[in-house]
Chains A and B, each alone.
Chain A
């Protein structure tokens, strides 16, 4: 017997859970399908949780969500082969509740979020892969799964199925993934006693530190490294554009191994016992890579719609926000007795355009191109900056003015005056 729902949500990551929760809360009959054994079983994230996006969905989430540590210190490192130069921002204001950012473990967090959605009335079915969208002409009217008798119908289908979105590709809503639009990230979780983390990172209680890294660690490839403190573990990882990995023929795990042995990083993770290894794609093509996100009877949210702000390492919050707004759009249409047609669902895009989601995506729309065409930002500059710091800090009888001159000439030598001005302009434009 084929079942019929008001809405079917594919995927139980942050975007799917946000959508399903919001829909069910308003009283709609929602089915959520997840191919993993349980929500979060297949999902990978750093992971930093941005409170704001979740607060708009579950205001009192702090009461029982599995949060690891709240972030009080952000370090940005630019690494050369054996050194780093960077900035640390630490503020006791970040220690005051309500906290703004947390580290989380996705397997636990997704399970919790999904539990909330189920309590709100979502019917969740796991270990079930949606294999096809059922079409009536151009209209999506349901889904088929990998199980016997797997056709299920709904007024609207929300694709929250992550970066690979086999469904959107199969249905022709989105082109094949372009290796230049996705990063491949690998990460490990290392067990470490709380006391060690507290002393190594100078934190107490549930406070934590994040380190974001660029520079030589990615061997000229466009990408970043990261190290986050969890309650009883550290997460360390690195991600680069898939196209760069292909070109450089470096394996991601070797890159991570080498990063872990960097003299500035090794002491931080020493003694940790590896608990988990994971690899995942991140859609980093930016604004220009966003596909069509709505149509006759369907909406796309989260990574499936390429909603990731790579510069600020935001993804899960965009996923939750797009999931929530997709749901709100459907709820409004249902309340007015209107169909989920292309015309009516255009409100979803309009709402996103008005929100921080599209505004931020647009702001950095040129950055991926610029970094692609100007690898010096990730290779030459880290080296020059580290050299400059080294020259200035080494006390060796050379006067400071001569040192400045040497630094200037190093820069001019490596990048030429024209190149320097051009680079500054490009960066300014990219972040404008």
Chain B
């Protein structure tokens, strides 16, 4: 079994600031991390490998620094890592990115057929949630988004059954391999890498592919040229003027604190109180 996991290195958005004068995003000094949503997908892939054996290959399209993110995935237990990097990719939007990744994954498949592709649900820096589905469409893979659990994988019948979070409930879906899965956050917890894997990651020579190695001939489909998206405006959200309030009660008893909180809430939002008392009666 061969699983490919698509990851992205992103700036830790919790630490990003907007330049107060120029309104641009200040990336300098902001640590780069593996997109947190991708880790749920990587962990799920590693769990499938633990049970069914096989191989996990991680792939990213990004600048040379993205190497660090791939190395981290090796430490978690991925077998191989491929960095797809080329100046020609610069300025790619989700359309161009999914094209480049689909093409690279197709190349990977020539070495050993790919049974499953995992991608993050979305990124914390772009938040589009489009790249995973884009890859599935281009590669003609069954698409399973917002998966909270992979219930069963049958390599004989080549089917997989998953639970998918949908509005108002959970769908249980069965589909054929090969498929593309994006995992829901919180669906699993990334393992703590072993010392051996840390050594392996520190020494690992990752594969670096340029445009040609990734099997891309048409430069019109990648980078800025292949990206119809236009950023029309960037602005910093206004800080909320509303202040947090510390609720103090004389007794400090949880019950008193809760009552004080409730009475404050109901005073500030009278409708809420009405709605609740209506329900209660």
Give the chain B neighbours of A275 by CB distance below 8 A: 17
Instruction: Indicate if the CB atoms of B17 and A125 lie closer than 8 Å.
Output: no
- Known: A145-B195, A191-B20. Contact between A108 and B29, CB under 8 A? yes
Is the C-beta of A371 less than 8 angstroms from some C-beta in chain B?
no
**Given the complex, which residues of B lie within 8 Å of A193, measured CB to CB?**
21
Are A147 and B194 touching (Cβ within 8 A)?
Answer: yes
The contact string, 1 if C-beta is below 8 Å from chain B, for chain A 146-186, is 01111110000000000000000000000000000000000
Minimum Cβ distance to chain A for residue B123 (Å) = 19
Nearest CB on A from B191, distance (A): 10
Do A107 and B29 form a contact, CB below 8 Å, given A123-B203, A147-B192, A147-B193?
yes
**List of A residues within 8 angstroms of B20 by Cβ:** 191, 273
Bound CA–CA A17/B192 (angstroms): 26
A150–B17 touching, CB < 8 Å: no
Tell me which residues across on chain B come within 8 A of A152, comparing CB atoms. Answer: 195
B192 touches A41 (CB 8 A): no
Interface string of B1-30 (1 = CB under 8 A from A): 000000000000000010011000000010
B198 A147 Cβ-Cβ under 8 A: yes
- Which B residues touch A128, using CB under 8 A? 195, 198
Least CB distance, A151 to chain B, in whole angstroms: 8
Q: Which of B29, B192, B193 has the most CB of A within 10 A?
A: B29
Among B21, B29, B196, B203, contact of A149 (Cβ-Cβ < 8 Å): B196
- Which residues from 163 to 196 on chain B have a C-beta closer than 8 Å to any C-beta of chain A? 192-196
Q: Any chain B CB within 8 A of the CB of A335? A: no
Q: Which residues from 17 to 40 on chain A have a C-beta closer than 8 Å to any C-beta of chain B?
A: 37-38
Contacts of A148 in B (CB 8 A): 192, 194-195
Instruction: For the complex formed, measure the closest distance between the CB of A41 and the CB atoms of chain B, giving whole angstroms.
Output: 7
**Residue A38 contacts which of B21, B31, B199 (CB distance < 8 angstroms)?**
B31
A3 contacts B by Cβ under 8 Å:
yes
Chain A contacts of B31 at CB under 8 A?
37-38, 41
**A129-150 interface code vs B (CB 8 A; 1 in, 0 out):** 0000000000000000101111
- Chain B: interface residue total (CB-CB under 8 A): 14
B17: nearest chain-A partner, CB-CB: A275
Within 8 Å CB of B194, what residues of A? 147-149
In the complex, residue of chain B having the shortest beta-carbon distance to the beta carbon of A124: B202
Contact call B199/A3, Cβ cutoff below 8 A: yes
B192 in contact with A125 (CB, 8 Å): no
B193 contacts across to A, CB distance below 8 A? 147
A214 at interface by CB-CB < 8 Å:
no
A125 contacts B202, CB within 8 Å?
yes
Least CB separation from A128: chain B residue: B198
A125 and B29: CB pair below 8 A? Answer: no
- A1 at the binding interface (Cβ < 8 Å): yes
Contact flag A150-B195 (CB < 8 Å), given A124-B202, A273-B20: yes
Cα-based distance from A167 to B192 in the complex (angstroms): 22
**A48 is an interface residue with CB less than 8 A from chain B:** no
In the bound complex, how far is the Cα of B38 from the Cα of A102, in angstroms?
A: 40
Q: A149 and B202 in contact (CB under 8 A), knowing A108-B29, A273-B20, A275-B17?
A: no
How far does the alpha carbon of A128 sit from the alpha carbon of B20 in the complex, in Å? 36
Which chain A residue lies CB-closest to B21?
A193
- Kindly identify, within residues 207 to 239 of chain A, every residue whose CB is under 8 Å from any CB belonging to chain B: none
Min C-beta distance of A95 to chain B, whole Å: 25
Residues of B within 8 A of A41 (CB): 31
Q: Is the CB of A123 within 8 A of B198?
A: no
Q: Given the complex, which residues of A lie within 8 Å of B202, measured CB to CB?
A: 123-125
- Nearest residue (CB) in B for A189 is B29
Q: How far is the CA of A151 from the CA of B196 in the complex (A)?
A: 10
Residues of A within 8 A of B203 (CB): 123
A105 and B196 contact, CB distance less than 8 A: no
Q: Which residues of A contact B198 (CB under 8 A)?
A: 125, 127-128, 147
Find the A residue at minimum CB distance from B194.
A148
Specify the chain A residue showing the minimal Cβ separation from B192. Answer: A147
Contact B17 A149 (CB under 8 A): no
Instruction: Pick the 8 closest A-B CB pairs, nearest first.
Output: A148-B194, A147-B195, A150-B195, A149-B195, A125-B198, A149-B194, A125-B202, A149-B196
28 A/B residue pairs, CB under 8 Å, sorted by A: A37-B31, A38-B31, A41-B31, A105-B29, A107-B29, A123-B199, A123-B202, A124-B202, A125-B198, A125-B202, A127-B198, A128-B195, A128-B198, A145-B195, A147-B192, A148-B192, A148-B195, A149-B194, A149-B195, A149-B196, A150-B195, A151-B195, A152-B195, A191-B17, A191-B20, A273-B17, A273-B20, A275-B17
Task: Known A-B contacts: A41-B31, A149-B194. Give 17 more (CB < 8 A).
Answer: A1-B196, A37-B31, A105-B29, A107-B29, A108-B29, A123-B199, A123-B202, A123-B203, A124-B202, A125-B198, A125-B199, A125-B202, A147-B194, A147-B195, A148-B192, A149-B195, A193-B21
Which residues on B are within 8 Å of A, measured CB to CB? 17, 20-21, 29, 31, 192-196, 198-199, 202-203
Which residues from chain A sit less than 8 Å from chain B, CB to CB? Answer: 1, 3, 37-38, 41, 105, 107-108, 123-125, 127-128, 145, 147-152, 191, 193, 273, 275
